[in-house]
Amino acid sequence: AKFLLLNGPNLNLLGSREPHIYGSMTLAEICDGLREQARAAGHSLEEFQSNAEHELIDRTHQARKDGVDFILINPGAFTHTSIALRDALLGVGIPFIEVHLSNVHAREDFRQHSFLSDVAVGVITGLGPKGYELALQAAIHLTGKN
């Protein structure tokens, strides 16, 4: 199957960004690990990070043209603000898992609401980089094809 990993704003800073909350792994390290995990299981994974809402939306639209089977997305702060990203994901009809490094439920009130969670296949929050790995494992299981 074909997987797409989307990362939203400020996740390019992983490794140096509030490491007590987000850990010390860089986004490149996370992505390399995921690409290898997909490859080892006979699948392919592409990765895209942007700080711009419209770029994440355009990449989501492109995913349908590319025949992407499943999306893994850490929307960053757009989680809590973006109806447009929600509409894009619904618009292309590609199933997705929402991933957060930190446990958003243990944090500020404004992080308690997600515009994506109720339309996601599932949500993983608070497990650090391991959460991406588990999300891909689940996505591979759910797509059940090469």
Helices (H), 41-116: 53-66, 83-92
Q: Applying CB under 6 A, does 97 fall inside the site for ligand DQA? A: no
Name the amino acid, one letter, at 137.
Q
Q: Closer to ligand DQA by CB, 121 or 127: give it.
A: 127
Query: Catalytic: 141?
Result: no
Starting at the earlier edge strand, list the strands of the sheet with 70-74: 44-49, 2-7, 70-74, 96-100, 122-125
Q: Applying CB under 6 A, does 60 fall inside the site for ligand DQA? A: no
21: left (phi over 0), alpha (psi -120 to 50) or beta: alpha
Q: Applying CB under 6 A, does 6 fall inside the site for ligand DQA? A: no
Interface pick for ligand DQA out of 49, 50, 60, 79 (rule CB under 6 A): 79
Name the amino acid, one letter, at 79.
T
> Which range touches ligand DQA (CB under 6 A), out of 45-53, 58-66, 88-96, 100-108?
100-108
Q: Applying CB under 6 A, does 82 fall inside the site for ligand DQA? A: no
Query: Catalytic: 100?
Result: yes
Q: Residue 103 corresponds to which tokens in the numbers above?
A: 């446990």
Q: Which residues pair with 84 in a beta bridge?
A: none
Q: Applying CB under 6 A, does 77 fall inside the site for ligand DQA? A: yes
Interface pick for ligand DQA out of 5, 102, 135, 136 (rule CB under 6 A): 102
**Segment 105-124, which members bind ligand DQA (CB under 6 A)?**
111
Separation in Å, CA 101 to CA 13, 64, 66, 127: 13, 26, 27, 6
Known binding-site positions for substrate? 74, 80, 87, 101-102, 111
Binding site for ligand DQA (CB under 6 A): 10, 74, 76-77, 79, 100-102, 104, 111
Which of the residues are catalytic? 22, 100
